[in-house]
Structure 1
Amino acid sequence: MGKSARTKARDTTATTGEVGPRQPCPCGSGRRFKACHGAKGGAPDVFVSRPFEGLPSECDIIAMRELVPAASAPLKLKDSDRSVTLCSLLPVAAPAMVRDSGEIWLGLQVQHMYGDPSRDLAAVLLAALDAEPGIVGLTSAPGEGPRLQDLVEGDTLDITVHEGFNFWLADVEDTSAMASALDEANAAANPTVRLTSVEAAYWTSIGSKEHLRWVMPEPENELLDALARLHVAGKDDIAPGSRFVGMFRAHGLLAPVWDLPVGTGAEVLEEPAKRFADDLAAALADGSELTAAERSARSGLANRQVTIR
């Protein structure tokens, strides 16, 4: 995505003229703007650039939606004691499933894109609360209504990263009918581990490469300043042989990415990640003007941003 498109993607809404008609729509649908939110009578919903702000563990929710193949976390509802579990991905990318036990599973990685994932999640959740066991989804934009922030409470989520998707069948007695689909899903899931020393940082192995991807909550401009300071100070390595390669932008936040030597694994990253977090906090608190070298580094970092969706 070019610099102009990245700037526009930070806006709260997307309307005709703000994004070039042939550029990707900021809603993340994968379609060009002219065929999505820029189309007359097309996608009518307002695009929200930071839809998960205010939810518990916002950064982890973004990671579960964009980076992590198999993870889950219980949600606590404000006005119900119904058991609800937020999942990265459900079978057939279902928006929600009501289990035979009555428990509701809510999926983050789904096919529909209506501009505000939080409102979509809330609409699916409300439908699931009144549904019989089975798959629950959306067939059209949810329209006006609450967002997930209005329905859940708590400060943090208890994230569990699964080795595969066997948790889908945790309460199913006869799994033979789904064995083939489960094997296929497990084969496509890259090994992923959530670090425990810091929030929302995930090690993953993708074929012949390993990465650390870390969703950070700080405002973009302040975070870029701080990362530039660390780069000039030689403090942006996360482990021996690692390389800071750039950042994803996802749902209004930045996710720095490091390439790691093959064989690094997750465990050895815990202490360096904590040290980096401490250095980053100090850099964020530094209110002085950037030096010429730091300004140059910041410009380079800004040019290494890409959008996941």
Structure 2
Amino acid sequence: MAKFQSLKDAVAENLFDGDVAAFEGFTHLIPHAAAHEAIRQGRKDLTLVRMTPDVIYDQMIGMGMVKKAIFSYAGNPGVGLLRRLRDAVENQWPHPMEIEEHSHAAMANAYEAGASGLPCAVFRGYKGADLKKVNPNIREVTCPFTGEVLAAVPSVRPDVTFIHAQKANKRGDVLVEGIIGIQKEAVLAAKRSVVTVEEVVDNFDDVHPNACILPNWAVTAICEVPGGSHPSYAHGYYIRDNAAYLEWDKIASDRDGFKAWMKDNVLDATPEDFASRVSALRESK
């Protein structure tokens, strides 16, 4: 059953050194506040999993928290590359990091397999692709019924998954509206899950037909963190802060500039600071 608590306590109780952790979000509802709290608590030796690593993984990698990343795309959306990730891979700064790259289809199927309690995902994919030459976890199996050769990858079963959502009700059910990525499967595949939300309400009214509802029994902790996905957007609450993504490319390009920004905006900040950052965006949503 979901436990309502502060973000600080939720991270302390559910994310540990050496964990396999997923901070999932697709285009919007990216759990920036949760990632920042993990940075403040100094977690290390993490294996980070995500379909589309962007700014938060760049920040966590640059802070030396990550030993491995499993992903299907890495970049600053709409801007370019992730400079801290690239520095870690090419120059081993702040320390060496292993990468395991997949396709989007492989990651989505791997999460679904994990949510289903299966050891691997089997699907049609990677035909004519060379990615399997550099990723030994991309393999082939032969269907025992048809003889068709299919792709297989290990299932994704995080120790903990973090997501951001619009609402939770007081029972602990979680409402996700707008573009839905792999958040549901990532939560169901994990041993523990932490959900930050814009607000806690009595009931869900006028739910959009595209909405996803996670039941309280699937969630470990819920934290009310208004603005917790900034600079990504939260459908119905605030728009994407495009300027922040453009700014990040410059910040991350220099190691000293990166460390100074992280000190001012993450290490010395609090979850409550997110609320003031999105006030103007809320007005223009």
TM-score by length of 2: 0.27
Could you say which structure has the greater relative contact order, defined with CA pairs below 8 angstroms and 6 or more residues apart?
2
Larger Rg: 1
TM-score by length of 1: 0.26
